[in-house]
Homo-oligomer: A and B are copies of this chain.
């Protein structure tokens, strides 16, 4: 599993920089370095044309102005445009309609060379090019859907073996062959502990694909909120004894996930249960989490893997992971086409570029008209924003790129904000996700002659699409036959590739997230400051009589006079949790405050 763990990623975001552990052979490195250079050189010619400065007229804006008349409104011309541009993937039963994005033929021609460059970049990426030159890492998630594409036979075997191991484990849990030590003798619940991609992926897949009454119910701890964790554990109640806890963390060091694990382990101890008998780790080999799980003898350990989300859900619900991979693989194949009109991911990227001027000037509103796809919008929010939200382009120019994504589901959201979309600030384009099959065959009925419940949903989608377009609001429609493991896999692969192509069009690196690290670092600094504050307060509280301090005094003694506001926030938070006491004053008047600890901790834990 050693090398496989390197391939794996948290579920939804494009993070190949974390996928490769760094075990590349020198030969491989050399060949990759070459392809990277060619990669960056062909991108170079495109890069300078893109600007994130809204005041500058770039080529898209120019083409938009040149079009003048605005969006095509003649019904016959629009129908021709619809048929001309309609993309269909027959085997997947997937359609993509881009006719309600107003790009012109001139724009398409103008973009053609950029697309060819993007296709070339994606091809090199798939063959193992270094996506992130700073870190020397490559992208492996396409291989996971088709092990034959993996660069060597060893990896192919590892991919296949891991997939088989996951499926076997899931079967064994569901059948009761693998069971908890409790008398019930069967796992009844899954508690999935993870954050970010390690939570959204499983949540999305579970909600989209789980049957009505899955063999195991699934719950999520996806934050470091103590009350939220308590709530999940309290709802498990006595079933904690038959809960399989799946801890998902690539590095094994994500603080929220670590904290969730510690809290769950405490609950197990308090219930007199042996956590190791019910814990599963999904992480990179030799991570802290992996080592802990091995030493403590947890039920199972699996390497991080692109479809980890699906994996957790499969354990609980029998979701067919292989079918998801088939759907993704079929879509990967389709989106390798170098003919723009035949490549649905490229068509999406084209629309995004047109609609947002290639600089994120409009938001992407995602509206799946299907309850089970509610979380697809959040999933895309993460995928798109984390991958495209970048400060610098590949040539080091400050571009502040990105596309904002939001949405829940239709027609519910029509009652929430279609008012603004239709009439208000024009700062968005819409993506409708349409599911043609309303109900399993034989279960439909007519609420009134000729009209079913699903017809209303259909009518709301079509009516909204028309009404928006009539007001010059552009939209894309993605249509699938049904929500199945295969179509969900295909949708994910479609958007992953679209993000990759778009990143190439705007010349950014979709595969690193320096900004996330900055936030974590800042949080770490806050906690470090808190420890110093506690040490200072503790020392003062050990005086006889105990000394209470003003914020200024605390800041001075911490040698952090510039951090007085953060110290105030720390005090406010600790006071609200009975961990610091207000001797004088009130948090509403920070200058008035005098604070002490109430007890002197002589062993100076906080020092």
Chain A contact residues, CB within 8 Å of chain B: 52, 75-76, 78-79, 82-83, 86, 88, 90, 95, 195-197, 199-200, 212-213, 222-231, 234-235, 237, 255-256, 259, 262-263, 266, 359-361, 363, 369-372, 378, 381-382, 385-386, 388-391, 400-406, 408-412, 414-428, 436-439, 441, 443-445, 447, 449-460, 462-464, 466-467, 479, 481, 483, 513-516, 518-527, 530-531, 534, 561-566, 569-570, 572-573, 576-579, 586-591, 605-606
CB–CB A467/B402 < 8 A = no
A225-B457, A453-B224, A588-B88 as given contacts; A425 in contact with B400, CB under 8 Å: yes
Which listed residue (B405, B458, B481, B518) contacts A526, Cβ 8 A? B458
Which listed residue (B412, B451, B458, B464) contacts A199, Cβ 8 A? B412
CB–CB A456/B424 < 8 A = no
Shortest A100–chain B CB gap in Å is 10
Shortest A419–chain B CB gap in Å is 4
CB–CB A419/B359 < 8 A = no
CB-based nearest B residue for A389 = B420
CB–CB A425/B371 < 8 A = no
A416-B200, A419-B513, A437-B576 as given contacts; A522 in contact with B463, CB under 8 Å: yes
Which listed residue (B450, B466, B520) contacts A531, Cβ 8 A? B450
Shortest A478–chain B CB gap in Å is 14
CB–CB A459/B225 < 8 A = no
20 sampled A-B residue pairs with Cβ under 8 A: A83-B590, A88-B589, A196-B414, A223-B410, A223-B411, A225-B454, A262-B453, A382-B415, A382-B417, A385-B424, A400-B423, A404-B406, A404-B420, A404-B427, A423-B514, A449-B605, A462-B569, A463-B521, A463-B525, A466-B522
CB–CB A229/B453 < 8 A = yes
Shortest A509–chain B CB gap in Å is 12
CB–CB B230/A52 < 8 A = no
* Distance A516 CA – B419 CA, assembled complex (angstroms): 5
CB–CB B370/A196 < 8 A = no
Q: Which residues of B contact A443 (CB under 8 A)?
A: 226, 230
Which listed residue (B86, B262, B422, B452) contacts A447, Cβ 8 A? B262
Number of copies: 2
Shortest A376–chain B CB gap in Å is 14
CB-based nearest B residue for A517 = B419
A450-B534, A451-B527 as given contacts; A436 in contact with B389, CB under 8 Å: no
CB–CB A225/B370 < 8 A = yes
Q: Which residues of B contact A230 (CB under 8 A)?
A: 212, 439, 443
CB–CB B423/A389 < 8 A = yes
Q: Which residues of B contact A227 (CB under 8 A)?
A: 370-372, 438-439, 483
CB–CB B523/A419 < 8 A = no
* Distance A426 CA – B52 CA, assembled complex (angstroms): 10
* Distance A525 CA – B459 CA, assembled complex (angstroms): 8
* Distance A521 CA – B516 CA, assembled complex (angstroms): 44
* Distance A200 CA – B417 CA, assembled complex (angstroms): 12
Shortest A64–chain B CB gap in Å is 14
CB–CB A228/B438 < 8 A = no
CB–CB A606/B449 < 8 A = yes
Q: Which residues of B contact A416 (CB under 8 A)?
A: 196, 200, 378, 381-382, 385-386
A444-B577, A451-B531 as given contacts; A235 in contact with B256, CB under 8 Å: no
Q: Which residues of B contact A422 (CB under 8 A)?
A: 389, 515, 518-519
A369-B225, A422-B519 as given contacts; A562 in contact with B404, CB under 8 Å: no
Q: Which residues of B contact A522 (CB under 8 A)?
A: 462-464, 466-467
* Distance A405 CA – B388 CA, assembled complex (angstroms): 20
Shortest A351–chain B CB gap in Å is 17
Q: Which residues of B contact A212 (CB under 8 A)?
A: 230-231, 234-235
* Distance A590 CA – B87 CA, assembled complex (angstroms): 11
CB–CB B197/A213 < 8 A = no
Shortest A231–chain B CB gap in Å is 6
Q: Which residues of B contact A566 (CB under 8 A)?
A: 462, 466
A234-B213, A573-B436 as given contacts; A79 in contact with B223, CB under 8 Å: no
CB–CB B523/A459 < 8 A = yes
* Distance A103 CA – B401 CA, assembled complex (angstroms): 26
* Distance A256 CA – B464 CA, assembled complex (angstroms): 15
CB–CB B371/A223 < 8 A = yes
Q: Which residues of B contact A479 (CB under 8 A)?
A: 572
A223-B457, A263-B453 as given contacts; A464 in contact with B565, CB under 8 Å: no
Shortest A219–chain B CB gap in Å is 12
CB–CB A389/B417 < 8 A = yes
Which listed residue (B228, B372, B391) contacts A231, Cβ 8 A? B372
A404-B428, A422-B518, A425-B360 as given contacts; A411 in contact with B224, CB under 8 Å: yes
* Distance A514 CA – B225 CA, assembled complex (angstroms): 40
Shortest A355–chain B CB gap in Å is 13
